[in-house]
Chains A and B, each alone.
Chain A
């Protein structure tokens, strides 16, 4: 499955890019599995995603839990806790 990943704030800075299109292995089916898989892609991913409690994920621009399925999702946002307002 091919999916667009978009990164924000210090997740974006640590990974070194704002977005990318990647092909996911078939065994990656949930948000949690996606994060675990991304950590294997390189040191910068491992560093950015080191603390799962500090990572938020959105599926098609809606907040999602780590247990949610990602099948059919077009865009996955990965970012730190929000600090707007």
Chain B
């Protein structure tokens, strides 16, 4: 059974249900599907939008590298990673990771691994748009994202 690997960097929204079908239809070896969806928050009403900038070409290449690592490490049957760019409003989806495996632990771990590396290594940057119209700031990288990534190295 061949591996299903899907990587996309796009402005348009995506459909988690469609990705679930892509990874499971005609795949009787799949015993588990885990999906993670990341959304744009309004931070308690403070934000009107996030602007997602990306490095065209490298964003796709880096997601592909992360995805291939995850497939190998957790023996995934399928993996789909979709990341949006451009202006995204609170409540809208930003990122979707879908992972399939024979059993649940590999699917959970695979999706988790992809998100931890995506946060720290995929070339995307968020700029805030403030609801009150004031000048928005670039989101700062978080130390806990580095720690989350590093746990995979220690194991």
Among B1-56, those with CB < 8 Å from A are 38, 52-55
Known: A10-B138, A61-B57, A79-B55. A85 touches B125 (CB 8 A): no
Question: Is B138 touching A61 in the complex (CB atoms < 8 A)?
Answer: no
Question: Is B118 touching A84 in the complex (CB atoms < 8 A)?
Answer: yes
Determine the chain B residues whose CB is within 8 A of the CB of A77 once the complex forms: 55, 58, 123
Question: Is A80 touching B124 in the complex (CB atoms < 8 A)?
Answer: no
Determine the chain B residues whose CB is within 8 A of the CB of A8 once the complex forms: 53-55, 123, 125
Cα(A8)–Cα(B121), bound, Å: 14
Known: A9-B53, A58-B55, A61-B57. A80 touches B123 (CB 8 A): no
B61 within 8 A of A: yes
Interface size on A, residues (CB 8 A): 16
B75 within 8 A of A: no
Question: Is B38 touching A81 in the complex (CB atoms < 8 A)?
Answer: no
How distant is A65 from chain B, measured CB to nearest CB, in Å?
Answer: 13
B104 within 8 A of A: no
How distant is A52 from chain B, measured CB to nearest CB, in Å?
Answer: 15
Question: Is A85 touching B55 in the complex (CB atoms < 8 A)?
Answer: no
Cα(A77)–Cα(B55), bound, Å: 8
Determine the chain A residues whose CB is within 8 A of the CB of B129 once the complex forms: none
Known: A9-B125, A9-B127. A84 touches B83 (CB 8 A): yes
Determine the chain B residues whose CB is within 8 A of the CB of A9 once the complex forms: 53, 125, 127, 138
Known: A8-B55, A9-B138, A10-B138. A82 touches B61 (CB 8 A): no
Determine the chain A residues whose CB is within 8 A of the CB of B141 once the complex forms: 80-83
A23 within 8 A of B: no
Chain A residue, CB-CB nearest to B115? A85
List 12 interface pairs A-B (beta carbons < 8 Å), by A numbering: A6-B55, A9-B125, A58-B55, A63-B62, A79-B55, A81-B120, A82-B123, A82-B124, A84-B125, A85-B83, A85-B94, A85-B119
Q: Which residues of A contact B (CB under 8 A)?
A: 6, 8-10, 58, 61-63, 77, 79-85
